[in-house]
Amino acid sequence: MRKLLVTGGAGFIGSNFVHHVIEHTDDHVTVLDKLTYAGNRASLDGLPGDRFAFVEGDIADAILVDSLFVEADAVVHYAAESHNDNSLNDPRPFLDTNIVGTYTLLEAARKHGTRLHHISTDEVYGDLELDDPERFTENTPYNPSSPYSSTKAGSDLLVRAWVRSFGVQATISNCSNNYGPYQHVEKFIPRQITNVIRGIRPRLYGKGENVRDWIHAEDHSSAVLTILDKGVIGETYLIGADGEKNNKSVVELILELMGQDAEAYDHVTDRAGHDLRYAIDSTKLRTELGWEPQYRDFDAGLAATIDWYRANELWWSADKDGVEAFYASKGQ
């Protein structure tokens, strides 16, 4: 039984990964999570006690991190401050977690010789023009545009430096936008879904032409596990499922799937520095490691996600009012 340490495992993508590992392997998982507003202990409810443990704490706490690395065979690093709007409002937590926290983990991996996989984002590459046929690859130059993406780019570079300078056994993955269960209601898709459930008209930044490359969190999880098991040390792998959709079409599809008029939403002032288009070329991951996404039908995946939020209102309802109050204060 391999012992995995998963940082940020009570967050959206991290909790989906933990469930995936428990379901598809014999590994034991210890989650380290600070339980900020974006982490929810309830996302890990029901996991078997003999294969799962939870530790509340900060990845920048070197003493705590060291004690957990002693017991870990491998570490998957999801923990991050990750909301663009929040990074524009207060960048400091993004530096503390994404830069200092990642440094702390790298030093522990260096000390103990522990295998580490670092989760990153396609936002480190900046954005593409709407009419650009190109997609991001592992060789695309970094061009981050927000405090969030800048700190994630910085954390990626730290991982690469620790691999080259100190021989740390690490890999990196940069993934496109995730959707699925357990995502905080501040994020684009769950915010629109829960607005409709609450009888609130969805809101769309600008004209809604911004394109995101959507992937179901289950597919992200299977890709990460594949990289952990088969990835070449020092390599970066891009994770994507060919799911490019503009925000306008996603909002309209949500409304249609929920039995509403597809045009029953409002436009609000666009976000500062709002990237135009993300698109992932995951050829390297597919050809070299043999990974393939399972959730190829975005409509079906989105319908299942809507069903999850309808069935789990107790999970998200406590956060909803605060999120909407925050956005209302900004006219969004």
Catalytic residue among 27, 33, 122, 219: 122
Pairing, β 170-175 against β 115-121: parallel
pLDDT at position 269, please? Answer: 82
Q: Residues 214-272: pLDDT tens digits?
A: 999 999 999 999 999 999 999 999 999 999 999 999 999 999 999 999 999 999 987 77
Active-site annotation holds for 122: yes
Catalytic residue among 78, 125, 148, 237: 148
Q: Residues 284-318: pLDDT tens digits?
A: 999 999 999 999 999 999 999 999 999 999 999 99
Burial class for 63, CB neighbours closer than 10 Å (0-12, 13-18, 19+): exposed
Q: In which band, very low, low, confident or very high, does the pLDDT at 139 lie, cut at 50, 70 and 90?
A: very high
> How far apart, in whole angstroms, are the C-alpha atoms of residue 326 and residue 316?
16
How much is the pTM?
A: 0.94
Active-site annotation holds for 148: yes
Catalytic residue among 58, 123, 156, 275: 123
**Domains defined for the chain, CATH in brackets:** 3-178+214-239 (3.40.50.720)
Q: Residues 174-223: pLDDT tens digits?
A: 999 999 999 999 999 999 999 999 999 999 999 999 999 999 999 999 99
Contact 137, 281 (CB under 8 A): yes
pLDDT at position 323, please? Answer: 87
Q: In which band, very low, low, confident or very high, does the pLDDT at 87 lie, cut at 50, 70 and 90?
A: confident
What percent of the chain has pLDDT above 70?
Answer: 99
Contact 197, 309 (CB under 8 A): yes
